[in-house]
Structure 1
């Protein structure tokens, strides 16, 4: 031992006792989660910053800090302890992250980070402290940017509400999917007009109000129901008012009206109306305690050492990415090229499209597309995209992938007819030009499907269990016009094509 060095027995050691020790252990685990899964943390914060739908998430960490600060007087009367069952919640979060990573579902990975942090709190601070922090821990889920799947149905709801109000006001209108035509013009209930951002933000705000201002569960349920219903109805009124302004004045005036109401006034007015209506029914007083420390603490059993508990927690966290790396498939090669099929009765044609259409499949290893015509005058477009494996930004289904490229003028309009094992969509471009698209997806040797959720599950199983990860998308589309409906053309082509599974086999090289 060198001169001046402390004997090992006298070397300083971390003290993991008391509040300071337990919080130190918690800080170590929290830092490990944020560091190990930093890519997901960064992507989540990027969504908060760049997507207006989730801008409210930027305030959630500060609200959680405020909620904890409100509970500090009672927390100081509690004694932290380790609690082994908390590791089950942390382990569930690690498992969820692994499944989300394998399936390529960002929202699952983001939610899993929150669950892991919650599990660390429960395991390292104990059941009494966790119960005292139940609402702040639960409220952390609002940091997860979720709810994008609500956009298409809310677009349709907003369009139908607009049609209802237009009918009541005597304005003649026709609706096709999310598009409304009046004598003044042609209006699209776009994603930004769906009201999803306000519904999601109102859910987060309403949940906070329910905890801060109410004790009674019936009052909380009534408040949330009223707040969310009013948000949806008010968004329908806003869309209707925009169309009405265009009908009474000009489209340019309506655009200006919509930007002002949508950007600055709308949500504030709804919040004021909601709070003014609910104010007389608040049953929690400002000075009411959040919990009874004596009832929560009870007889505290001696817990394990916080340092050892932190070590177990760290092992659970690290195990998730290690397992995924160890069980990753070696991969199966795709053919050097894929070709469009030869279909009896159909021939390739150079006939131009009414409006240029090309589906989007970022990172595809192979992509081919062509146009076919038959003797009956049917015309279809066929696109095939193949991947040797899927990973982040190379996914066969996901945001921006598929029939309607958000960077193009094509927008999703409504569901469309499709075979039982396929996905049918109606998309629309300026003109308007309407298309119906039938999409098939296939992972490895599984049967073709049109279900995006099934694709995610099959992708997840392939990555976790080392199965064939090759994936292919086959899209058949036709323009829908007067005297030339899309659905008969698509049905005729698929009937002459034969089993889509055979085409998928050739595309990914199974046979």
Structure 2
């Protein structure tokens, strides 16, 4: 990318700066901006959420890391012949981005942008030098939103862990408390540890900070590893402490005190506290080593000369690899422009309002029960059906179905995530193919679980409907979503869940037979509401 000349001695002026190589680099950025537009849009939308509000800072910090690292690698002398590895990476970025564009999942397009940045650096510097710039490129990962399925699993897990630790701290403080899922029960009042209390909005910025801190840290490699690994536990611990303090305030002074406390301890207060703990940890490790050192001695905070490194842009050469990269991305932009419109295809389906009240010998016990506003907003389904079914001499069966017109920007939430948050403990869970039991030649994969809340036990069947496929694993459902989006342009799908209480006078097999009876009757009705 760069000539062997010294940037300090290169002639000044705008004409000297605007070289042919820089123009080709600008063309690469222009075509990439057009190709990755969906990814940029997804990032801008994600950055408006509290969990990802740190996102705009990440490219700036990565740029500074790159300029600092660039000082260690002066311009290479002679012909640079190892640029074509970067072209291969560009092709990979275009392939991944195309997958995201065809499947209408813009987050995948955003992920592909990271590959493109790495490819441009390898083209610019060649493999020999460019391979050393992976730290600032990898840091860009912290600006990306998590895949929805992984986000909800992670958020729910952190909620439960934070609740458990918060209650543990409360018990140490001799506060009588009982935990039921994410609900902290003080007897006279109950506190719900909401999704906003999971700690994700602190975790991502702290992980980014610990990464930069480890890059700038000049201590032993194992120190760097400890700093990176400890970032998540420190964040979870601080979040649990916040929940515990909130519980003490609520128990002693009532919930009116919580709003002000919550606002005060959100955002920067927790962030700064976590940073101080990371600094303290690094100080302790430095003091305990054979030759104790001060923290200022091992942190490389030198910023002098970054402007000079930025001026090396004018030394860019219009290499064949750089021009080829522009041609590849430009051709991809043109190809997608010429493709026929693949906007969401209309799906011919019946609304759940027309779902039959009688299915075999099972009758709908009550009208459709609407979910509460918070749950309905979290579910974000385009249509859902929530009823109780009864049959003579049989306990009731709960039927819940949710359908999504477009799952590319959200989609189905697994009961495996939702039930524990409501206080249900999963005692047993398995994925099984019941095709032979329901008399079908196609796979019919479901999740079969027993959940428990106190002494109440409940059996649950649930599966994901993906264009006539019955899928048990939520990640597999996401993969089918991508495949269907690429092949047909359809990204619709849904969830079916059956539940029944296991009475003390019956066995698990009785409850399972009851759910299986309803499921057999359902399989002919579901395609009308979740089309194949």
**What TM-score comes out, normalization by structure 1 length?**
0.75
Structure 1 residue 498 corresponds to structure 2 residue 501:
no
Counting only pairs closer than 5 Å after superposition, residues 350-365 of structure 1 correspond to structure 2 as 350=366, 364=382
**Could you tell me which residue of structure 1 aligns to residue 390 of structure 2?**
373
Instruction: Tell me which of 419, 423, 447 is aligned to 1:422.
Output: 447
Compared CA separation, residues 470 and 225, structure 1 to 2 (3 A): closer
SS state at 2:191 partner: strand
SS state at 2:53 partner: helix
Instruction: State how far apart, in whole Å, the 1-side matches of 2:340 and 2:514 are.
Output: 44
Instruction: State how far apart, in whole Å, the 2-side matches of 1:247 and 1:374 are.
Output: 45
Unmatched runs of 5 consecutive residues or more in structure 1: 1-16, 291-301, 429-433
Counting only pairs closer than 5 Å after superposition, residues 289-308 of structure 1 correspond to structure 2 as 304-306=319-321, 308=323
Give yes or no for contact 1:87–1:123 (8 Å, CA) kept in 2. yes
Give yes or no for contact 1:212–1:284 (8 Å, CA) kept in 2. yes
Instruction: Tell me which of 468, 473, 476 is aligned to 1:445.
Output: 468
Structure 1 residue 159 corresponds to structure 2 residue 163:
yes
Instruction: State how far apart, in whole Å, the 2-side matches of 1:498 and 1:363 are.
Output: 22
Cα shift readout 1:249-285 (whole Å, capped 9, x = no counterpart): 3222244333322345222122123213314735354
Deviation at 1:231, TM superposition (A): 1.6
SS state at 2:463 partner: strand
Give yes or no for contact 1:424–1:436 (8 Å, CA) kept in 2. yes
Give yes or no for contact 2:90–2:119 (8 Å, CA) kept in 1. yes
Instruction: State how far apart, in whole Å, the 2-side matches of 1:288 and 1:69 are.
Output: 9
Cα shift readout 1:196-253 (whole Å, capped 9, x = no counterpart): 1212111100000000123532110012223332221121122112112222332222
Give yes or no for contact 1:124–1:310 (8 Å, CA) kept in 2. no
Compared CA separation, residues 423 and 213, structure 1 to 2 (3 A): farther
Deviation at 1:309, TM superposition (A): 2.1
SS state at 1:85 partner: helix
Give yes or no for contact 2:345–2:490 (8 Å, CA) kept in 1. yes
Deviation at 1:353, TM superposition (A): 5.3
Deviation at 1:321, TM superposition (A): 4.3
Instruction: Tell me which of 348, 364, 389 is aligned to 1:348.
Output: 364
**Could you tell me which residue of structure 1 aligns to residue 33 of structure 2?**
34
Instruction: Tell me which of 328, 352, 355 is aligned to 1:313.
Output: 328
Deviation at 1:383, TM superposition (A): 4.1
Deviation at 1:154, TM superposition (A): 0.3
SS state at 1:145 partner: coil
**Could you tell me which residue of structure 1 aligns to residue 53 of structure 2?**
55
Aligned residue pairs total 464
Instruction: State how far apart, in whole Å, the 1-side matches of 2:484 and 2:117 are.
Output: 28
**Could you tell me which residue of structure 1 aligns to residue 108 of structure 2?**
108
Instruction: State how far apart, in whole Å, the 2-side matches of 1:91 and 1:238 are.
Output: 47
SS state at 1:57 partner: coil
**What TM-score comes out, normalization by structure 2 length?**
0.72
Compared CA separation, residues 206 and 492, structure 1 to 2 (3 A): same
**Could you tell me which residue of structure 1 aligns to residue 278 of structure 2?**
274
Deviation at 1:176, TM superposition (A): 1.4
Compared CA separation, residues 38 and 220, structure 1 to 2 (3 A): same
Give yes or no for contact 2:365–2:390 (8 Å, CA) kept in 1. yes
Unmatched runs of 5 consecutive residues or more in structure 2: 1-15, 287-294, 306-316, 432-445
Deviation at 1:466, TM superposition (A): 4.3
Instruction: State how far apart, in whole Å, the 2-side matches of 1:354 and 1:470 are.
Output: 22
**Could you tell me which residue of structure 1 aligns to residue 84 of structure 2?**
84
Instruction: State how far apart, in whole Å, the 1-side matches of 2:224 and 2:41 are.
Output: 34
Deviation at 1:346, TM superposition (A): 1.8
Cα shift readout 1:438-489 (whole Å, capped 9, x = no counterpart): 542122232x1232211111122223344986634323357x899999x999
Structure 1 residue 221 corresponds to structure 2 residue 246:
no
**Could you tell me which residue of structure 2 aligns to residue 139 of structure 1?**
139
**Could you tell me which residue of structure 2 aligns to residue 148 of structure 1?**
151
